[in-house]
Amino acid sequence: MKKIFLTIVLSVSLVLKSMADEGMWLPLLLGQQVYNDMVKKGLKLTKEQLYNINKPSLKDAIIIFGGGCTGEIVSSQGLIFTNHHCGYNAIASASSMEKNYLRDGFYARNKSEEIPTSLSVQFLLRIDDVTKEVMDSLKGLSGAERVQKQGAVLAAINKRLSDAAANIETRVSPLFKGNQFLAFVYQRYTDVRLVGTPPESVGKFGGDTDNWEWPRHTGDFSVFRVYTSADGKPAKFAESNVPMKPKWYLPVSLRPLKDGDFSMIWGYPGGTNRYESSYGIKLATDINNPTLVKLRDIRLRYMFEEMKKDPAVKLQLASSYAGIANYWKFFDGETKQLLKYDVFGQKEKAEAKFNAWAKGKPEYENLFADWNRAYDAWKPYAKHRVYINEGVFGSPLIAYASSLLQLEAALVKPGSSKADISKAVEAAKASREGFLKEENKVSDQNILAAVTRMFYEDVDKEQHPVGFFNTLKNSYGPLNDDATYKKYAADVFGKSMIFDDAKWNAFTANPDATVLQADPAFAHASAFLTNYNSKYGPLSQQFMSKNAEFGRLYLKGVMEMDPVKAKMMYPDATFTMRVSYGAVKSYRPRDAVFYDYVTTSKGLLEKYKAGDYEFDLPARQIELLKKKDFGQYMDPARKDLVIGFITTNDITGGNSGSPVINGRGELIGLAFDGNYEALSHKLAFDKDLNRTICVDIRYVLWCIDKLGGGENIIKELKIMK
């Protein structure tokens, strides 16, 4: 098995040309023909300069930033560039109404002004192939038994290859739906400090209106630095720590871009599912995505109403709102693209071909019949699962209250020790502090009222918590009236001890299950979560186990059926280091419409609206741009400042902050978004319309230098002209 799958990745057939720029390739297993194609398109670096575990290489400049983004090292002193939205939480946490860095921007003039954060970064040390070890342990197993055993085996490998004392962490990633396993070994650094950020009006210019859209004029960047102990090892924050001396850092290019220029993107794409079945596509377009979009729309509406009224509320909710909004629009666009290009029909054709081949092969001939039954069994409950995650827990109060079920369990469990109960109480108190800091009661109360009614009307009534809605009707009024749910939500918020310090302190001083169960917020959370966990959660687990097993067998069969196609396959993204390559490129999204490959300050000024929530800009920026004070960052051909550009590179979530690199290994921009016309990319790559939206590094440096006055940061970079 190991030999088969190394061959899959290492040897890409000559039909590679037909794949356009699709593919998130593992740098460890970058085949010669893939590398040759990269060179043909403009790469000037050797394979060893790209990836080498024994010597410094480009991969050493690419980091996991925070919990779900990519960053890159850009100086010999551990300076990090990433997206503004990746640093958003840290920037918001460092801000106050007196020092509002989120609103006004911030650049440290020297290292003593850099602001400590709770962020960490991870550097990839090496990748080990552990396929044989895992596969040998799974022989003869299938279904839930295989899933359980696989989890135990991967945990054992992770533990064996990790070293807590050295901050070394290992995570085995299943690839090709569990047909190959690679161990990714990382070293984590926890002293990460904020160095600079543009004002939010620059970093989020265009807001939700421009999200996932081109043309784009967003300065989506932020600057951090990683520190180490004096001997270069990972260390907790200390004044005595020193800037990291990295193995590799990226030089920065000020050279102008041309349509067709080579581009590669390194980073950590979070997740794709391009080998999904037609059944999965159908479930996404018919149930999962529309339900998620509808529920997030409600949450965003009520949050935005309060954010517009008060700058303090805007600061309080900004990070949460941004996260919800980002994938609200994504899943809406994904559904439309999947339907527009009939991805379901394309999958069905491929599966019909597979079924014809599978006849007479016991391992595969009944695969799709069994798979269909699994989906039919789960489909009636799929909407309920989305409602729990996006609706019930869409209320921050109810999401927090649900965490108190752990405390309840400790209180009612026979034989629970005082130490167990005390530990659960302390955990509840600590998480309550964080909840209250971020809670906006007005928007949350409206969300609770709205989603409770939506659950009643949209989820099969046989799946409702027993007696819940009858009690609500008897106490508050008709179930088809908004006023009923508003009264109910007002009672929950008005009577919950979670908001009442005196009642909360009395409860935690003498914790009692009866008191907790009588709390209306806890009762709401418990009713919905207990109902789901006891009846439908097990069905979800059974379905996911079967779906994973059928997906693994299908992909295994596809590779056996068509060895030529197998040689062109790359593994789905799994938040592991990947490289994609393509070109800076314009496109035509529809009839009579042409999109240039760059945007400029001219377009930025055209979009600018003074005082607008999404399209305002700092007065100084308007002044500088109107004067055409572009300095060394001006594009000589356009006589303007380039703001953003697009490439054909294949990326997905997790690539936020990824470096866009030219053929010489120089940084030309930061990837931060995809285009609306190709939002099906998690499930299906569009070779004609897919574009990655990037902020041009020249605009990043202009913002730091000309707008922000951070000349000290510019001097630290290796700039190529």
Give the contacts of 645 (CB within 8 A, at least 6 positions apart). Answer: 257, 584, 597, 598, 599, 668, 669, 694, 696
**Each residue's pLDDT tens digit, 667-714:** 999 999 999 999 999 999 999 999 999 999 999 999 999 999 999 999
The Cα–Cα gap between 579 and 58 comes to: 11
Task: Dig out the tokens for 550 from the structure.
Answer: 């059928």
Quick: pLDDT tens for 41-74: 999 999 999 999 899 999 999 999 998 999 999 9
Residue 656 annotated as catalytic: yes
Q: Tell me which H or E stretch contains 7.
A: helix 2-10
Interval 392-405: pLDDT, tens: 999 999 999 999 99
Show the tokens assigned to 167. 């901050």
User: What b/e string do you get for 275-306 counting C-beta neighbours within 10 Å, with b at 16 or more?
Assistant: bbbbbbbbbbbbbbbbbbbbbbebbbebbbeb
- With a cut of 60, say whether residue 207 has pLDDT above it: yes
Q: Counting beta carbons within 10 angstroms of the beta carbon of residue 510, is it exposed (0 to 12), middle (13 to 18) or buried (19 or more)?
A: exposed
The C-alpha angle 618, 619, 621, rounded to 5 degrees, equals 65
Quick one: 227 and 96 in the same domain? yes
Same domain as 618, residue 580: yes
The yes-or-no verdict on residue 323 having pLDDT over 90 is no
More confident residue, 320 or 184: 184
* CATH number of the structural domain spanning residue 245: 2.40.10.120
- pLDDT of res. 16: 38
Same domain, 104 and 26: yes
**Co-location of 18 and 59 in the same domain:** yes
Q: Are residues 477 and 601 in the same domain?
A: no
Q: For residue 259, is pLDDT > 90?
A: yes
Amino acid letter, residue 144: A
Residue 345 domain-assigned (yes or no): yes
Best CA proximity match to 249, nearest among 101, 374, 80: 80
Segment 248-255 mean pLDDT: 98
Q: What is the 3-state secondary structure (H, E, C) of 86-118?
A: CCHHHHHHHCCCCCCHHHHCEECCCHHHCEECC
Same domain membership, residue 412 and residue 519: yes
> 580 with 631, same domain?
yes
Residue type, 189: Y
Domain presence at residue 137: no
**Is residue 233 domain-resident?**
yes
387 lies in some domain: no
| pLDDT at residue 20 in the model | 58
- pLDDT, tens digit, 9 for 90 and up, residues 477-513: 999 999 999 999 999 999 999 999 999 999 999 999 9
pLDDT greater than 60 at residue 9: no
Examine the fold and report which residue of 510, 535, 560 is the final residue of a domain before the chain moves on. Answer: 535
Q: Which of 526, 551, 571 is the last residue of a domain?
A: 571
Give the tens place of pLDDT for each residue, 270-321. 999 999 999 999 999 999 999 999 999 999 999 999 998 998 888 888 878 8
- 239 to each of 115, 116, 194, 235, how far by Cα in Å? 11, 10, 15, 11
Q: Which amino acid, 601?
A: S
More confident residue, 154 or 8: 154
- Of 19-23, 255-259, 353-357, the poorest mean pLDDT is in 19-23
Catalytic residue among 75, 84, 85, 402: 85
Whether residues 531 and 543 share a domain: the answer is: no
For the chain, the residue count is 721
131 within some domain: no
What distance in Å separates the CA atoms of residue 511 and residue 501, rounded to the nearest whole number? 14
Tell me: do 698 and 675 sit in the same domain: yes
For the stretch 83-125, pLDDT in tens is 999 999 999 999 998 999 999 999 999 999 999 999 999 999 9
* Per-residue pLDDT band at 15 (split at 50, 70, 90): very low
* Whether residues 627 and 701 fall in one domain: yes
Q: Among 21, 191, 208, 220, which one carries the catalytic annotation?
A: 220
Give the CA dihedral 25, 26, 28, 29, nearest 10 degrees. Answer: -60
Could you tell me the residue range of the domain that residue 499 belongs to?
Answer: 395-535
Q: What's the mean per-residue pLDDT of the chain?
A: 94
Mention every residue, 6+ apart, whose C-beta is less than 8 A from residue 504. Answer: 432, 497, 498
pLDDT given for residue 184 in this prediction:
97
**Count of C-beta atoms within a 10 Å radius of residue 217:** 24
Domain-embedded: residue 133: no
Does residue 646 fall inside a structural domain?
yes
Q: Of the residues 75, 253, 656, 658, which is catalytic? A: 656
User: Measured between alpha carbons, how far is 263 from 105 in angstroms, rounded to an integer?
Assistant: 30
- Of the two residues 10 and 384, the one the predictor is more confident about is 384
Overall average pLDDT of the 530-536 stretch: 97
Break the chain down into helix, strand, coil percent, rounded to 5: 50, 15, 35
> Is residue 149 a part of any domain in this protein?
no
Domain end (from 524, 555, 571)? 571
Angle between helices 289-309 and 311-340 (to 10 degrees): 160
Q: CB burial class (10 A; 0-12, 13-18, 19+) of residue 32?
A: exposed
DSSP letters spanning 651-694: --TT-TTPEEE-TTS-EEEEEEEE-GGGTTTTT---TTT--EEE
With a cut of 80, say whether residue 337 has pLDDT above it.
yes
Q: Examine the domain organization and report whether 553 and 459 are in the same domain.
A: no
Q: Are 605 and 699 found together in one domain? A: yes
- Number of domains, the chain: 3
